[in-house]
Amino acid sequence: MKKKILLIYTGGTIGMLSTGRGYAPSKESFYRLLDNMPELHAETMPEWDIVDMEPLLDSSNITVNEWNKMGRIIRDAYDRYDGFVVLHGTDTMAYTASALSFMLENCAKAVILTGSQIPLCEVRNDARDNLITAMMIAAEGIVREVCLYFGGKLLRGNRAVKYSADEMIAFVSPNFPSLADAGISIKYRPNMLRSPDDGKFSLRELVNTPIGVIKVFPGIQFELFDSIMTERLRGIVLETFGAGNIPGNGDALLPIIRKASANGTIMVVCSQCPQGTVSLGTYETSSQLKSAGALSGQDITTEAAVAKLYYLFSCGYNGEEIKKLMGEDLRGEITV
Ligand code: ASP
């Protein structure tokens, strides 16, 4: 029997049309283009249905609410389809892929996010291959987790980062190998694929928790961030230099971290380097971060750290539990 997949169209360049004010999402023209692609109904393709999210968005406008909407669509259709393809703008695709990877608990089906750098309506585009290959991967059922397919590479969703604003290979997975490479054939790396966790599939909706990302830079005046870090935010991703280093030996930052930590704020240290891992204590400039109460994000991406914080807060865990779980590998997002 033919496999059946669900396409979830959220917006993004893939379905955009050129307007007087630049590219904007369009439903009618995208659906017309799909209708005019006989290859989508070829014998080798799965059966498919499509639903769209109202309103269609440039992915810069995606929020926790849209993640919840996508999650609900997948939850409600989970038993009726073999896999899912989420058509999404590239700008925040890595954040959405990370968020869905946590929200879809015990997910045992492929959920593949894809989009394109050039809309399907243009003669020369990357939309056609991204769409067709993502649909095939979703139907095949070899991967059973949330992934991102783009430019010939299948990446674990919570390991992907957008790397290029204008190249066709727009995403990389700096700290984890690709799960499959689509050349003449789709070659999977079986050892890299995650086996689904035992348990019944369910959706954990996210609560819009105050979370912030702070990127340090030479000369940063930490005192300017004091009240936001200690009183306003519940979760902070601190993007540090190299393996977790902060400027000024932390003289200005450490008291703020101690205060934030005492107030229950969770602070996760990530690196501005896309590749490699945070190792608190390797240098003097990072050793005190840990004692002040910050957590090492290890090799997690900023995108996945943000999504994981939203998720853990939404699960209702207390501070100690969140700290513990941030250090554990929940969905293949860190190497422990
Ligand atoms: N701004 C667009 C979006 O993220 C870019 C894209 O899709 O490539 O929706």
164 C-beta closer than 6 A to ligand 1: no
* Residue 96 CA to its chain's centroid (Å): 4
Which range among 208-217, 225-234, 249-258 shows the weakest confidence by mean pLDDT? 249-258
Of the listed 13, 114, 285, 301, which one is catalytic? 13
Residue 12 Cα: closest atom of ligand 1: 9
Q: Is the pLDDT of residue 150 over 80?
A: yes
The whole-angstrom separation of Cα 255 and Cα 293 is: 10
C-alpha 91 – ligand 1 centre gap (Å): 5
The whole-angstrom separation of Cα 26 and Cα 16 is: 5
65 C-beta closer than 6 A to ligand 1: no
59 C-beta closer than 6 A to ligand 1: yes
- Catalytic residue list contains 63: no
Which range among 21-25, 99-103, 173-177 shows the weakest confidence by mean pLDDT? 21-25
The whole-angstrom separation of Cα 286 and Cα 267 is: 14
13 C-beta closer than 6 A to ligand 1: yes
Q: What's the pLDDT at 187?
A: 98
Q: Is 286 helix (H, G, I), strand (E, B) or coil?
A: helix
Q: Is the pLDDT of residue 116 over 80?
A: yes
Residue 93 Cα: closest atom of ligand 1: 4
- For the entire predicted model, the pTM comes to 0.96
Q: What's the pLDDT at 197?
A: 86
If you take atom 1 of ligand 1, which residue's CA is the nearest one?
Answer: 58
151 C-beta closer than 6 A to ligand 1: no
E strand residue ranges, the chain: 4-11, 16-19, 22-25, 47-57, 83-87, 104-105, 110-114, 146-150, 153-156, 161-162, 171-172, 180-182, 186-188, 202-203, 211-215, 235-240, 266-271, 295-296
